[in-house]
Structure 1
Amino acid sequence: MYRHSLRKRVAIAFALCVAVLSIAWGFAFFAAVRLSEDRVLTQQLQVAADNYPSITTNLRGYDKVANLPQSLKKWAKTNPELGLYEFDSEELHVAVIAIDNKQLRGFVVFDVAGIEASSSEDWWLLLIISSVVGTLGMVGFGLGIIVMRRAVAPVTQLAKAVGEINPEKLSSEDHKRIDSSRFTDDEVGMLAKTIEQTLERISAFVTRERYFTSSASHELRTPITVITGALELLEQSQLSATDMKTLDRVRRATLDMKTTIEMFLCLARETDEGLYDEQFLVMPLVSNVIDLQRHLLSRKLVEVEIEQLANPRVYGHPQAFSIAVNNLVRNAFEHTLAGQGPITIRIEQQQLLVTNQLVSAAAEQYSPSDASPHGYGLGLGIVQRLCERNGWSFSLLADEKSVVARLSW
């Protein structure tokens, strides 16, 4: 278990990598210096051994320019400044110093012939140093990866646990995948605990939603079924024309209530037992909806034109599609004034268009800026949600002459 916070662990890991690399580089440079020092002494001793018994020194002092080696005389006559000079071609190193109370100049010449490494040896040394540097770099990189992985291991574990959860199919056991007890009381532990509690609340909400929709589906549909049965019995009785009109209004109100209940239950359900993959024909549903809502045009003298350019099949929830079309058609029928028309319902291979014609008076009351899923009819926001659930698209277009509701699949 980790005893420090994530921020401290990352800082410690970084400091550890820097410290280890610094120590490694320090030992490498120290070894290089000692190797160079030993090599110079060894080479100088070898030169002396090769000249035995006449041992000559490689380091000599000169107080006059005339006594310098011939290759240095011309340079010395230019009165060089005090300091150190190197002559690669002659293999000489020269130090210019002040003598005789700084009035004259002396020369200390170091003959490095046979002591300095040859060009081939320099290349080998460069290759060795480059190899050591590369090896240390790779070791440092690998060490950094290992240390950082250990430092952020809790984050990786949490991300893996969250990644195994399917947000589209949450279950009541998904919050147990996090298991926040595995993490210490740091930033990661706090995040894990928060995610676990959030998933637990979501799981509880899903459970309550499923229980509510299953109970509401029965409790709300039962009264509608009873009312429908009573209406059927009343139809068989001897009723006056006025009573029949009243009965017809009750029947339509009951049907609207049934449709509304089914619509909201459809939206409330988290899952619907695979009905979103069902294939169905569009035309029968459209025809049924028009028949159900035609009473809204009984006194308006408005024609309904159906243009069937194709006979498409749609994948999704047939009840949701019927509810969406029912809302569009009912809105079109309700918002059409007497003598204003015709209302056109156009069925194409990939879309359904419901068009209202506007007269000048209606156009003044309705502007294109109102053409939103929530600006034309109470149920268009619901239509938008139904389309989103089924992978369809809905749009509402308006101008000065017409309003077009488009449902695409």
Structure 2
Amino acid sequence: MKPLNRLLTGGLRTRLVRVFLLQVLAISIATVLGVYAAAWVVERVLVQEALNGEAEYFWDKHDDDPTFPLPDTNNLTAYLAEDGDTATVPAWLRDEPPGFRRGHRGDRSSPVIYVSEHGGDRLYLVFDEMQVSSLAWYFGVAPLTGVLLLIYLLTWLGYVMSRRAVSTVVQLSDAVRNYDFGSGRLEKFSQEEFGEATDTETLALVNAFNQFIQRLESFIRRERNFTRNASHELRTPLAVLRSNLGLLARQSDPEARALTVERMNRTVRDMEALVETLLILARESESRLNWSSVVLNDLLADLLDQIASTFDRPEVTTGVRANGLLEISAPERVLAIVFTNLIRNALSYTEKGHVHILIDRNGVTLQDSGCGMAETDLERMFEPFYRGHDRSNEGYGLGLSIVRRLCDRFGWHLHADSELGAGTEIRVEFPQSDFKPFGSN
């Protein structure tokens, strides 16, 4: 098996050439062996049996009639030596012993001879096979040669068709081998690159490679986003921690130290939430997240109370309004991240007025009476690190961008509307949700 394995190594084209040459060699060897076998059968079996039959027939007739003529045809000549008299026998034939063999005539020909003895007499049969060989050539070897050429032609056509069949696979292999994975942009393959007659198997390989490229691009995109976001957004809380540690080292008043520790704890919680969010966005799938049935009414009420308590907004009223229970199946932590960022954004830009959360059959709406934003800012509000015209508020710059990416990731619809000086309204719709109006069973 090892020589066969070595034969089948290399590229498809190389292996096809090797197999084609091996087929031609095998056919040629089989043909040559067949010709030699046929010649041996004709000479050693058919001719010998025919001459032996002629000799037996002659002796039978000669015993009945001593004057029975010797066989004499165009291809067969007979000589009879009675009682050892070889005067009528050619000199080159006289010393041949009984049996079947080839003789050596003076004209350099080698006819087939058969010597038979009977009652002291000896019969010499000389068979000239030249005419028979000519007939064998015209009716045997020539047709066999034509068949052999036809087999060669069919083998060649099979090789050409096989090479054409695998040409797209070889082309795809060359394209993959020369593909530059280190380039800044990963290009997908198209069917046009491999011709219109691309086979189904090659199309399956192209589609699989394109899916791999798509996943690879997604991996690279998530890695770049995670690196960019983490390196950019963790600087602010780390700076806050560093400054608070300096204050803590200089402060001696217990109340002041407690306030500093509280600010540090809040910053650590923000960092934990930020890192968790970035890790969720960096994952390829959501299968590892803990999915559950979440009632948004309870979740939003808790989040609004928790976040509002961290803001000093005495002139801002907050509340959750609903005419039913909205329940969806999703990771609760993801929902908390989305609405935490939305609530924090609303409170950050609302110094007086209200921040209300409205729950209806189709989704959740957050309304605030804050500063609002211009149309140009509204178009860019979900871009990373974009803060709009008011840059005085604290924030890490990723909140609304994270909301957009998480909504896109989980198939939720996000809409925003704002008017400068009047406030902002952001709505999150959940295509698959269960709403139960109050008062219904």
- TM-score band (shorter)? 0.3 to 0.5
Q: Structure 2 length as normaliser, TM-score?
A: 0.40
Q: Structure 1 length as normaliser, TM-score?
A: 0.43
